[in-house]
Structure 1
């Protein structure tokens, strides 16, 4: 059972707790309580092993293809957290004996995992156990662990095995060649392994320190090695009230790390660096290292973002802190060659690949909160341009057609070709998204537009941004298909965001976003011709922009953009959606588990119903209202409201991406109560009471959506065609909201109640913003009353 209310005093609304050990539901806590820092991701499996556990340790960017017939994925590098514990020679397990006062907690404020319980052995001996663990934000290569065992009743022998176990796989796929294993000073362990295809070296070192009653023991442990594994065995005798403590520190380095990814690299340098780091860390010790880690979180995260909610439901504040915690540990801030995985670094789901989730659901947080990380994530897409160009050529197009699933930038398209079982035919279903879900190219262009307008980072645009936008526009111009009868350009045979509709023509989202991408390229080309002709000349030599510009001008205004129907203002999701059969969706809308519709229908059948997986057409209103298209009548509030109430009842939210978008739009049209209920549902995708929703890993995009629903929805903070707007609509449950955003180079402090807004400009550089159609200027601090109030 998961609890959110056990944090007290300064830790109130900072603690996520598991209050009962459930051996059949281990995945939930393993995923949502996982630890990381953007470089390392450590799934929070218990120290002692269980049948249904999943033990994962990932290093960002270390992609490997286990076999020729498999796709590249992040390999599960090794297990350093497992402790095989024995009590009087018998295996310790919470499935035997009696457990009392069990608690496992993720402390979001300190990014620490703690587990405490009292256990009575089958022989009646009572022991107190405590485990602690952190993955350092101060030293990205460091993992710290502690174990405490106290005898409460009888003399007892505690023995345990601790080491590095590289006998790991990704659901059976082995990614590594075995390398060197060593034990130094009977305390430190070295294990080296190399990925079998990408040839990335991984060096792992662990040190051990064991104390009894605060005195370090002098007895040497037994030393052991086997295939892909090296470990130490300790035997400790405790008298009643004696306490044993194990301190284990681990460092992880790879040849993909930027400092080693060069022509002068050799594996000995990597081994020396890792061992040196371990030795220095061992001198400092767990407590000192943990203090530095805490200070890094306090300074870099909590004092920087300052997101506070005063709500009648304290859970709301915890959920937003959970969102900030997860967003921090999923982002590879250390290396612009890496993206964010759909499951972050919390599990094997989606193989560590990046999707459009990053640009539309995760990147906005960083754009408005930590622009340096946003720049890094967009630079990752630039490094993937050659792969995008290759994909376009392979499919008969020009320009840059970005992969639906991306891994290492030069890997290109890595979407698996086959997926789930078809319940009708019994065969594996073909995954079409890697071929025909193409809107991601325009999504990336939109993200660059959003980043540039919010940050005013001209250097990024000159080096990276313009080239991506121009090349994706070239792709779309080549992708358009001329319809002679209608005298317009169509985009046929695609999948839009609604992946329950495959092989459709003129998906509204895809067509409008392609139109936006091309129009944006035209605007930027014309601006650069006037302001920076030398850059245009440079890019023209690479992309032939003179020809492309003429093509854009010719084709842009002839792209078919589905119009609102005259009778109800509904924009057709695609050419056939509004003609499809309507079925009763009640049991699917009320489902406790996602995608239950697949228990009754296969993809071909679902394709014939008016049922939507996630926000599709509705997403247009949220995205394009931020652009120079915001005054288009097709995006008016009246049309938005009509489409919301048509499509939302048909949307199953079978993608975790969907709820946040619907929450924002519900708030936009004044249905704040519904918006709040959707916000709460979004927070419960991972945090909620259902114990199997996160087994494969957390839902990174949904976690980004929690922040978006609060900040873009309830706080009403938006980019609108280069301008900052703040149109708050706080839910009635919230008394006030406080946060910091970044706008064009400086932090902006914002404080909201249901009818007042305070804005503080940190660097005293004048900004302009709009509140409910009224323009304000501020170079210090301003207090504003607004009239929306609560509904």
Structure 2
């Protein structure tokens, strides 16, 4: 079981802990205690090996396709974390002997993994173990590890095998060619591996330092090499009361790193430079490197975001820290050619691919908290324009149709063709998303609009944003189908956000988002023509504006039902049969409905996988369509209760959106409950919920539910609105955001909103319908 009450003093609400070892539940802590810095993600497998472990190291952007029948994915790189330990000639494992005072912790504040316990061997030898590990935030290529061993009863002979193991696979798929291996100066180990298809070189280096009773020692060391593996074996004897330490520093570099990805790249030069770098790290030592890593997190993350919550439930503050930690660890802020995977860098699931999760669930945090990183993530989509144009052309359209799953920008569409089993037929199910889930292109246009409105970054628009919005608008204009009988354009045969409904027509989310995309393109074209006629001529084609306007005016936009204001999710949803969803609403594991129905049967039931119509309301209220009567407060409330009853939240994307919506309509108790469920997707006590990796969108959803829901922060067509709705459990929340390039500090209580500006520029904010303008700070009294 997980324990979140461990942190004390300065570490209160900063510690994720596990106090009992179980070899059946390794995946939970391997995932939620992931170590990462955006460049790489290291799954927190234990040092000693276990049968059910998943030992993963992913380097962002290093995609490879192992064979023509395999999917492009992030390859599982060589492992340097495993230690094979022998105590008096017997393999050390917690599955044998007796273990006391077991603790495995992720110290979120210091971004350090710590594991400690007392262990008595089957022969009665008692030892105290402590392992620590970090992935450096100060030096992006560095991994630091330390093992401390104290002999508590009688002398023991210890053997430790440690090195670099490139025999790793992705669920059996080998992505690397055999490379060079060498041990330098009897200490420094180097191993090279190269991906089979993409030809990316990886250079791994590692070095060990041994200490006995705080004095550095030279133990007996044997050197070994096998296929795709090189290591050293240390043997020594420790007496009762002795303290032994092994420090291990590892670096990883690839030819895809920006500093190496150029025409003059040399593998030999990267080997030499990376080895020289490791030698410099070795001189500094583990403790100095760990401290620089800790300071980097403090200065660049915790001091920058400063998110504090006063809650009756201390886990709420921990959840906020958890969200900020993983959002930072998963995001490649260093390279705009890279995106964020649906499982971040924490597992093989979804292959490291980027989905709409980024734009709708992860990007908002960076837009408001770290605009430079937000810009980088949007530029990743810009680099993917050639693949988006190719996909559109292959399907008979024009413009840019962005891949549903995106890897390296030039890879294009990488969605797998086949998925899980059909419970009725026993066959594999077809994955249709890559072919007919089209709303992503409009989601990206929305993200550009949101980013520019919050940041005021006009340079981004000119260099990257305009062309993406215009190209996606061209796609939609070519995608619409004319219905002669009804004299309107429609969008047929799609999947909306609710992926339990395949091959539907006029999914409201898709139609309205496509409409927004066209309207935004027309607005941007008019703006560009006035402000930069030369650029306008190069980006806007003759006839574009007329085509967009004609298509937008005649596109079918579903209307709410007169009797209850419910907006049809698609043409047939409200006519489908209803069943008792109670057991699925109470499920402890997602997608249990597939045990009773196959996809075709689910398609015929009024059941929704995840936020669809509710998400549409949330996005539209941030745009120039906010005053459309179809999105009125009354309609929002009616749709929320109708669809919440039919939504199983079988995607981790869903709960946070419903939490925001519940907060907005005044259902504060329900909003808080949904917020807590969002936090518990990964932090909860289900010890198998995160086996396949972190739920990246839900991590972003924790921040969104707090900031957009409880704090009521929103950009609405370029205006800053703050309408707090704290749940009864929260007495106060404080955090920082950026607005038009200026830092703002928000301090919210039940009765007061205080905003402090970081400069003397005038700031406008709307609260409860009233517009306030201030320079340094302002206090606004809140009424419930």
TM-score over 0.5 for the pair? yes
2: distance between equivalents of 1:10 and 1:503?
53
Give the superposition deviation at 1:555. 1.1
The answer to whether 1:357 aligns with 2:357 is yes
2:696 equivalent among 690, 693, 700: 700
Residue in 1 aligned with 2:143?
A: 143
Counterpart selection for 2:775 from 773, 779, 783: 779
Query: 1:602: which partner in 2?
Result: 598
| 1:155-214 Cα deviation digits (max 9, x unpaired) | 101111000000000000000001100001111100000000000000000000011111
Matched position secondary structure for 1:41: strand
Residue aligned with 2:414, SS: coil
Aligned to 1:40: 40
Alignment pair present for 1:657 and 2:653: yes
Q: How does 1:226-237 map to 2 (within 5 A)?
A: 226-237=226-237
After superposition, residues 18-417 of structure 1 pair within 5 angstroms as 18-417=18-417
Find the aligned partners of 1:76 and 1:763 in 2 and give their Cα distance.
46
Partner Cα separation in structure 1 for residue 193 and residue 220 of structure 2: 27
Q: 1:79 & 1:175 partners in 2: Cα distance? A: 14
Say whether 1:563 aligns with 2:559: yes
1:507 maps to which residue?
A: 507
CA distance in 2: counterparts of 1:313 and 1:218, whole angstroms: 50
Which of 519, 544, 557 aligns to 1:548? It is 544
After TM superposition, give the deviation of residue 218 of structure 1 in Å: 2.2
Query: RMSD value over aligned CA atoms?
Result: 0.6
Aligned residues of 2:219 and 2:235 also touching (Cα < 8 A): no
Structure 2 distance, partners of 1:42, 1:168, is: 14
Distance 1:657 1:219 in 2: 52
SS in 2 for 1:262: coil
In the alignment, the residues of structure 2 paired with residue 285 and residue 421 of structure 1 have an alpha-carbon distance, to the nearest angstrom, of 51
Q: Which SS does the other structure have where 2:402 is aligned?
A: coil
Q: 2:652 matched to 1:642? A: no
Give, in whole Å, the separation in 2 of the partners of 1:708 and 1:750: 15
Would the aligned equivalents of 2:220 and 2:235 in 1 still touch at CA under 8 Å?
A: no
Residue number in structure 2 paired with 1:761: 757
Shift of 1:219: 3.3
Q: Any conservation in 2 of the 1:128–1:149 contact (CA below 8 Å)?
A: yes
Query: Which whole-Å CA distance do the structure 1 matches of 2:16 and 2:236 have between them?
Result: 33
* SS at structure 2 position matched to 1:498: coil
Secondary structure at the counterpart of residue 197 of structure 1: coil
Equivalence for 1:687: 683
Distance between the aligned counterparts of 1:220 and 1:19, measured in 2?
Answer: 35
Displacement over 3 Å in runs of 4+: none
8 Å Cα contact 1:186-1:220 kept in structure 2 = no
- Deviation of 1:64 (Å): 0.1
CA distance in 2: counterparts of 1:235 and 1:216, whole angstroms = 15
Aligned to 1:626: 622
Equivalent residue pairs, number: 784
CA distance in 2, matches of 1:324, 1:740: 12
C-alpha distance in 1 between matches for 2:379 and 2:739: 20
CA distance in 2, matches of 1:277, 1:772: 56
In 1: Cα distance, 2:187 partner to 2:20 partner:
34
Distance 2:350 2:717 in 1: 34
The reply on whether 1:676 has 2:672 as its aligned counterpart is: yes
Give the match's secondary structure for 1:546: coil
Q: Following the alignment from structure 1 to structure 2, what is the Cα–Cα distance between the partners of residues 365 and 87? A: 48
d(CA) in 1 for partners of 2:178, 2:210 = 29
1:538 shift after superposition: 1.8
Secondary structure in 1 matching 2:520: helix
- SS at the partner of 2:285? helix
Query: 2: distance between equivalents of 1:338 and 1:82?
Result: 28
Superposition TM-score, scaled by structure 1 size? 0.99
Q: Structure 1 residue 546: deviation in Å?
A: 2.1
Specify the SS of the correspondent of 1:358. Answer: helix
Within 5 Å, which residues of 2 pair with 1:420-499?
420-499=420-499
**How much does 1:220 deviate?**
4.0
**For the Cα contact (< 8 Å) 1:656–1:702, is it kept in 2?**
yes
**CA deviation after TM superposition for structure 1 residue 274, in Å:** 1.1
Q: String of CA shifts for 1:540-561, please: whole Å, max 9, x gaps.
A: 3xxxx22221100111111100
Q: SS of the counterpart of 1:179?
A: coil
CA distance in 2 between partners of 1:474 and 1:597 (Å)? 38
CA contact (8 A) 1:528 1:536 kept: yes
Q: Is the 8 A contact 1:73 1:352 kept in 2?
A: yes
Compute the TM-score of the two structures, normalised by the length of structure 2. 1.00
In 2, the alpha carbon distance for the partners of 1:528 and 1:265 equals 40
Partner of 1:727: 723
How far is 1:309 from its partner?
0.2
Residue among 724, 727, 734 paired with 1:738? 734
Separation in 2, partners of 1:586, 1:553: 45
* Structure 2 stretches lacking a partner, 5+ long: none
**C-alpha separation between the residues in 1 aligned to 2:86 and 2:543?**
73
**CA-CA distance at 1:248 after TM superposition:** 0.1
Task: Give deviations 1:665-711, integer Å, cap 9, x for gaps.
Answer: 00010001100000000000000000001001000000000000000
- d(CA) in 2 for partners of 1:399 and 1:605? 35
How many angstroms does 1:3 deviate by? 0.7
**Contact 2:762–2:773, Cα closer than 8 Å, also in 1:** yes
- The match for 1:716 among 712, 719, 723 is 712
Structure 1: runs of 5 or more not aligned: none
Partner of 1:580: 576
Cα distance, 1:585 vs structure 2 = 0.5
User: Is residue 220–residue 236 contact of structure 2 (8 Å, CA) maintained in 1?
Assistant: no
